[in-house]
Structure 1
Amino acid sequence: MKPSIAFFDFDGTITTKDTLFEIIRYHKGSGALYAGMTLLSPALVAFRLKLISTQRMKEMVFRFFFGGMRVEAFRDKCAEFCTERLPGLVKENALQAIRHHLAQGHQVAVVTASAEDWVKPWCSSLGIVCIGTQLEVRNTLITGKIHGLNCNGPEKVERIKQAFDLNGYDDIYAYGDTSGDRPMLAIAKYGYFQKF
């Protein structure tokens, strides 16, 4: 009998809110978050008008808040975030679903558009896999660019297939809450949209 696997989106599925803004707040403070978003507001308007891609918008945000930061210091602070702030953002019923899958011997992976830096430490604490957007690092510094593609939409499926041979699994479960999760839900035998 083949094993089973469950894929979970992160922001909005496992968490109550988008963690990008929360990680910025945790690193820089609320004042810096609001000031930065005000300065970035012309780009945000262009993004809402679909004149700027999601990847381009995210790179502008990453570069503004974290560009030039030493990656080791960034990841240390992200690990603190996973211990101190993130547990308060996790939906209890989503966490129960993860634990239910683990109790049944299923493999579990979080597949997220958020950067792995502030999701992977939390996943590791549960013994589950993290597949997420990867930030570009040069000479130990964060550039603000995304390495490869933003892990959303069809890219979630591509990244899943790079990490797992889906033919080796019996039942495939997937949980998501936005249109960016639809391709991932489509490859599952049991796909759940906005379950939590």
Structure 2
Amino acid sequence: MTIAFFDFDGTITDTDTLWQIIRFQKGNGAMYRGVLQLLPGLLQLKLKLIPAQQMKEKVLRHFFAGMKESDFQAGCNAFCEEALPKMIRPQALKAIREHQQAGHEVVVVTASAYNWVAPWCQRLNIRCIGSLLEVTDEAITGKLQGINCNGEEKVNRIKQVYHLNDYTEIYAYGDSSGDKPMLALAGNKSSFRPFRN
């Protein structure tokens, strides 16, 4: 059996979808105002003074805290239908299709939230493993449920679902340092193939 793991943001897409889901659901004005308010934290993240999960939660809290989960998910579904297809790299989609045609299992493993990646994956009949958002009283809190699905956590999450010894060949695709532990699962390091349009 063969399995292929794909990072999402920057690998399958040509952009960071966190900011795109904010733009889609809240509008350009709200996004830019939020960026200005969050700028001190974003600079701290750039300088590696705060961890990525802390900053991601600041962003999610600012834009989505208190929003009904059902409304948020409806917006994510619409995003996957209307906006996300324009952000998909054709070469990445081609690689996914080639794996599927060869009978390989394909899995997207992403630090982005499951909510706005899974609907797209479901249309392609591929599994999605992503960061999970905390929900309390049917509302988004802005916190993550557990650990951000990045770096070593990508491997941890993969191993929770798959017995990798069952697979004779493993492919992995990613574009950043946060993908390196996942890429190391592949039998051939050359499986690191960033896609460019």
TM-score, normalization by structure 2: 0.97
The residue type equivalent to 2:88 in the other structure is V
Root-mean-square deviation over aligned CA pairs? 0.8
What's the offset of the Cα at 1:195?
4.3
Q: Which residue of 2 aligns with 1:33?
A: 31
Q: Which residue of 2 aligns with 1:106?
A: 104
Q: Which residue of 2 aligns with 1:194?
A: 194
- The CA distance in 2 between the partners of 1:71 and 1:52, in whole Å, is 28
What residue ranges of structure 2 are gaps of 5+ in the alignment?
Answer: none
Whether the aligned pair in 2 keeps the contact of 1:11 and 1:18 (CA below 8 Å) is yes
Work out the number of aligned pairs and report it: 194
> Which consecutive segments of 4 or more residues in structure 1 shift more than 4 A?
none
- The CA distance in 2 between the partners of 1:167 and 1:41, in whole Å, is 45
- The CA distance in 1 between the partners of 2:122 and 2:97, in whole Å, is 13
What's the offset of the Cα at 1:27?
0.3
The residue type equivalent to 1:172 in the other structure is I
Q: Which residue of 2 aligns with 1:11?
A: 9
- The CA distance in 2 between the partners of 1:15 and 1:145, in whole Å, is 24
Q: Which residue of 1 aligns with 2:125?
A: 127
What residue ranges of structure 1 are gaps of 5+ in the alignment?
Answer: none
Which of 56, 59, 69 is the matching residue for 1:58? 56
What's the offset of the Cα at 1:35?
0.3
TM-score, normalization by structure 1: 0.97
Q: Which residue of 1 aligns with 2:77?
A: 79
- The CA distance in 2 between the partners of 1:147 and 1:163, in whole Å, is 17
What's the offset of the Cα at 1:194?
2.1
Render the CA deviation track for 1:61-100: whole Å, top value 9, x for unaligned. Answer: 0000000000011011101100100000000010010000
- The CA distance in 1 between the partners of 2:166 and 2:151, in whole Å, is 23
Cα separation, partners in 2 of 1:88 and 1:195, compared to 1, 3 Å: closer
Whether the aligned pair in 1 keeps the contact of 2:12 and 2:195 (CA below 8 Å) is no
